[in-house]
């Protein structure tokens, strides 16, 4: 079995037939589709069972409503393919999606990343490609660049649904989604897979069509940026420590925490709350394993001077982000897949 498609579904009856039809229309037929009904209250389970009776490649699992992460984890427990990919029950695959994904699955590659496109009922579409040029790097430098983007945030790397993961790595390393995490659970899974795996390949083709509708839109948030992301920050800290990568990404993690404070209250807010919030998350590293940049940041943290120095650090970070955004705008049209 080449590919296991894991499909968590909750009240997806309206779109599930269209989704399953796109799966069954694949040009590469050596796959299984594991549909996990997460305690739906509509006809999701009945539709999935109907398709399973028609095509033996579709398997149906059911659980009481426990959330998308638990559903995906259940699918991982039952998957048997060499590779794993995730599809949501209201989205679509292009007809050549699996074939295109596998074109990047070379020896030494454990994760394949592709472009995706959003669409809505009004015909609006938007294509997403990587925001930085991490895909042009090599070996360990490339994997580190991917991890850095996942720690900071990237529209293509974050989501699970346009990726191909080598199942042997996922199983050998015991990688699972963190249940109960309501934000960035996709990014956390991909980060752990990147830390534990080998090469990461990018194929500049759209293979996944992400449906935008009222149920998928971001809900109004009452909590601030930092408070909403705190469970993710804590879970990410645990992953970095557990995978022996805390020192390698010490400064990047601190940047991610302070960035959330900045989004809440600008530079004054970031400085004001840095010590009580962001620095409170920082565990003691093994100083000998820190990168040169990490050692410099750790020295400021340990001395208590980091909040005082942050107004000097901040302009460098802003310039770096602005240059990256400008470079992306310049190459976006040229590199956009058809």
How far apart are the C-alpha atoms of 65 and 71, rounded to whole Å? Answer: 9
Structure tokens of 6? Answer: 């894991």
Checking if the pLDDT of 284 tops 60, the result is: yes
Q: Give the C-alpha separation, 44 to 236, whole Å.
A: 33
Q: What pLDDT digit, counting tens, does each position of 102-118 carry?
A: 999 999 999 999 999 99
Assess whether pLDDT exceeds 90 at residue 1. no
Query: pLDDT of 8-56, one tens digit each?
Result: 999 999 999 999 999 999 999 999 999 999 999 999 999 999 999 999 9
* Helix H or strand E segment including 264: helix 250-273
Q: Where are the domains of the chain?
A: 3-211, 225-335
On whether the pTM is more than 0.75, the answer is yes
192 Rama class: left (phi>0) / alpha (psi -120 to 50) / beta: alpha
Task: Check residue 123 and give its pLDDT.
Answer: 87
Q: Give Cα separations from 166 to 81, 288, 328 (angstroms).
A: 9, 33, 29
Residues 6 or more apart from 310 whose CB is under 8 A from it? Answer: 258, 267, 270, 271, 274
Please write the tens of the pLDDT for every residue from 198-242.
999 999 999 999 999 875 544 445 679 999 999 999 999 999 999
pLDDT at 217: 45
E strand or H helix that includes residue 226: helix 225-242
Q: Please report the pLDDT score of residue 221 as a whole number.
A: 56
The pLDDT of residue 215: 57
Give me the percent of the chain exceeding a pLDDT of 90.
86
Q: Which pLDDT score is estimated for 139? A: 86
The third-level CATH classification (topology) of the domain covering 3-211 is: Spore Coat Polysaccharide Biosynthesis Protein SpsA; Chain A (3.90.550)
Q: State how far the alpha carbon of 33 is from the alpha carbons of 78, 125, 208, in Å.
A: 11, 26, 15
């Amino acid at each position: 079995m080449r590919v296991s498609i894991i499909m968590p579904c909750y009240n997806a009856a309206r779109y599930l037939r269209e989704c399953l039809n796109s799966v069954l229309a694949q040009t590469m037929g050596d796959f299984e589709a594991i549909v996990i009904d997460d305690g739906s209250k509509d006809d999701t389970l009945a539709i999935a069972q109907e398709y399973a009776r028609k095509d033996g490649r579709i398997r149906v699992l059911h659980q009481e409503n426990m959330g998308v992460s638990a559903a995906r984890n259940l699918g991982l427990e039952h998957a048997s393919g060499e590779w794993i990919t995730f599809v949501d029950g209201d989205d679509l695959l292009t007809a050549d999606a699996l074939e295109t994904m596998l074109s990047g699955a070379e020896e030494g590659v454990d994760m394949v990343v592709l472009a995706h496109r959003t669409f809505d009922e009004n015909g609006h579409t938007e294509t997403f490609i990587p925001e930085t040029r991490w895909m042009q790097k090599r070996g360990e430098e490339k994997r580190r660049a991917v991890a850095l983007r996942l720690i900071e945030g990237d529209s293509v790397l974050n989501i699970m649904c346009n990726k191909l993961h080598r199942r042997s790595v996922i199983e050998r390393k015991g990688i699972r989604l963190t249940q109960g995490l309501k934000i960035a659970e996709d990014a956390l899974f991909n980060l752990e897979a990147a830390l534990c795996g080998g090469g990461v390949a990018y194929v500049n083709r759209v293979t996944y069509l992400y449906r935008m509708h009222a149920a998928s839109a971001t809900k109004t948030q009452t909590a601030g940026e930092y408070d909403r992301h705190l469970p993710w920050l804590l879970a990410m800290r645990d992953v970095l420590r557990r995978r022996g990568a805390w020192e390698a990404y010490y400064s990047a993690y601190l940047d991610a925490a302070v960035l959330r404070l900045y989004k809440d209250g600008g530079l004054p807010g970031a400085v004001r709350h840095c010590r009580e919030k962001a620095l409170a998350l920082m565990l003691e590293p093994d100083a000998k394993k820190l990168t040169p940049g990490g050692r410099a940041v750790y020295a400021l943290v340990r001395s208590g001077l980091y909040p005082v120095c942050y107004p000097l650090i901040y302009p460098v970070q802003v310039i770096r982000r602005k240059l990256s955004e400008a470079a992306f705008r310049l190459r976006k049209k040229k590199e956009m897949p058809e």
